[in-house]
A and B are shown apart, each in its own frame.
Chain A
């Protein structure tokens, strides 16, 4: 779904705050978006941007719901009823995710992203209202986009989301860490061989492509294929002007250029999705060769710094993938996986034996879907309902730190947005130990295990059925939600 169609869907569901008052790209648009994410939970379309009369900004693109129901965004994206429950959304998400469709290439003349083409010295990043979003930031950034590059040996094309710092009219920094696919292709297949790496950055062309570029897709699989599967229709792509990469034809903006072999420059600081500042480091440098965009383009941006941002809203996708990995690929005894954050995993165990728990935790650490969750796993009883309150309760009530806290000495790669390692380890990507909490209760003396109390435990089954039967007659417009 392209961003303009998404805006229509949001408008139809009263999930769009449209602002016609002029806002400044220097901090002000970010401040409005961040407060919106705290109190209003809508996407924000800024129709008038200071210094950039041709442009519009879309902030809080996915930040539609309070923390409890972030998967609703996927319901809208997949055309499901907005209140489809978490597990039903998961079934449909995984069905689409595991049935990719290859994109189809269309002619440049038919591609909306080619309405305006600026090549060479005409291409100027400062003509685009990239935001300055926090006063701790060392510059202006693009965040909600796909950066595309290709393995020259296999032609595997990767679409990933890595922050991009504007350095000047035709120069930018790329926050590129080994282990992530796009950066690994650059370092091993271009930089080591002394060759520049052609790249494209595109935004707004397809939200499923954005989702695919944020979650974990195996090496060798192209995110454009995954997006096609998610959309249940092939993604329309078009060839770039100055290299042979394919970009979403409906993109609002496409930036083309090369990542320069052997060149490094300052990147950062930037207040990241963790809610903390990630510091300055030396990162690869990009030269810009061409910019194409639509008329009256819309620049999407992620405003980090709060608990509800694009990262947390996409956490269900990460949990869906983790569930798929543990239950379908590794066939481990897992009953359910929670959806709360991209930094930790809550897993309800089907088998609470010590061997099973250790195996599940270590599988996540080694094969963890998002890079960030590799360090913290919470294991709970099979019948723990995977909402935030229930799992936090399980941690607080059922975890005895003296016996149930397990720290591994696995040398898992750290990245700068992991904040529990030393600063040097974070910057150098070293030594991220991992931790899992055993909040299951079957191994503990049962007389010491607290009894649960919730709607499901506090009332007999016949009374629960009686309340369910008359629920809508009582005047509630939200569906009955029994959690077992």
Chain B
């Protein structure tokens, strides 16, 4: 299982979708090489994650702290940031 991080702004912006286990479009960062990936993904906060799910850390936008909020991410599709209109969340 790989590990990724996500800016906590996404977790706030998509709190309803995360609670309902609905897919979201977000940027996650690999904890292996720190490459960012724009993905359509299912982020799960509670409940049982799928077998394809990866550990997901939350990065505080202001302090930079990495927090374990019990999140997992299942990547449904990797997107091309050059082609997808996308704006990251505010702090």
Contact = CB atoms under 8 A, between A and B. Distances in A.
A140 B34 contact: yes
Contacts of B64: 134-138, 268-271, 277, 279
B62 interface: yes
Interface stretch (B14-22, B39-47, B48-56, B80-88): B80-88
A280 B27 contact: no
A132 B33 CA distance: 9
Contacts of A282: 87-88
A281 B91 contact: yes
B1 interface: no
Contacts of A137: 64
Given A138-B7, A266-B27, A280-B7, A167 B63 contact: no
Given A266-B36, A279-B63, 10 more contacts: A138-B5, A138-B64, A139-B36, A167-B35, A266-B88, A268-B61, A279-B62, A280-B59, A280-B91, A423-B62
Interface in A137-184: 137-140, 166-169, 171
B76 interface: no
A364 to B, nearest CB: 29
Contacts of A281: 91
Interface in A109-145: 126, 132, 134-140
Interface in A311-366: none
Nearest 9 A/B pairs, CB to CB: A136-B64, A269-B64, A280-B61, A279-B62, A277-B64, A167-B36, A168-B35, A139-B34, A266-B88
A270 B59 CA distance: 12
A126 B33 contact: yes
B86 to A, nearest CB: 8
A287 interface: yes
A152 B37 CA distance: 33
A265 interface: yes
A269 B61 contact: yes
A417 interface: no
8 contacts: A126-B33, A135-B64, A138-B7, A140-B33, A265-B36, A266-B7, A269-B61, A282-B88
Interface residues of A, number: 31
Given A136-B63, A138-B64, A277-B64, A264 B35 contact: no
Given A126-B33, A264-B88, A269 B63 contact: yes
Contacts of A139: 29, 34, 36
B23 interface: no
Nearest to B38: A265
A269 B34 contact: no
Contacts of A166: 34-35
Contacts of A427: 91
Interface of B is mostly: loop
Interface residues of B, number: 23
Interface in A237-287: 263-266, 268-271, 277, 279-282, 285, 287
Interface in A171-228: 171
Contacts of A135: 64, 66
B61 A279 contact: yes
Interface of A: 126, 132, 134-140, 166-169, 171, 263-266, 268-271, 277, 279-282, 285, 287, 423, 427
B29 A126 contact: no
B91 A279 contact: yes
A423 B82 CA distance: 30
Contacts of B65: 136
Given A126-B35, A132-B34, A169-B35, A269 B62 contact: yes
B59 A264 contact: no
Contacts of A171: 36, 81
A264 B88 CA distance: 8
Contacts of A265: 27, 36, 81, 88
A281 B88 CA distance: 9
Nearest to A171: B81
A271 B64 CA distance: 8
B73 to A, nearest CB: 16
A135 B67 CA distance: 12
Nearest to A166: B34
A169 B59 CA distance: 22
A1 to B, nearest CB: 32
B7 to A, nearest CB: 6
A169 B34 CA distance: 11
A77 B34 CA distance: 35
A177 to B, nearest CB: 16
A277 B63 contact: yes
A381 B42 CA distance: 65
A280 B66 CA distance: 13
A214 B62 CA distance: 25
A36 B60 CA distance: 29
A303 B57 CA distance: 25
B57 to A, nearest CB: 11
B80 to A, nearest CB: 10
Contacts of A279: 61-64, 91
Contacts of A140: 33-34
A244 B38 CA distance: 31
A270 B61 CA distance: 10
Contacts of A269: 59-64
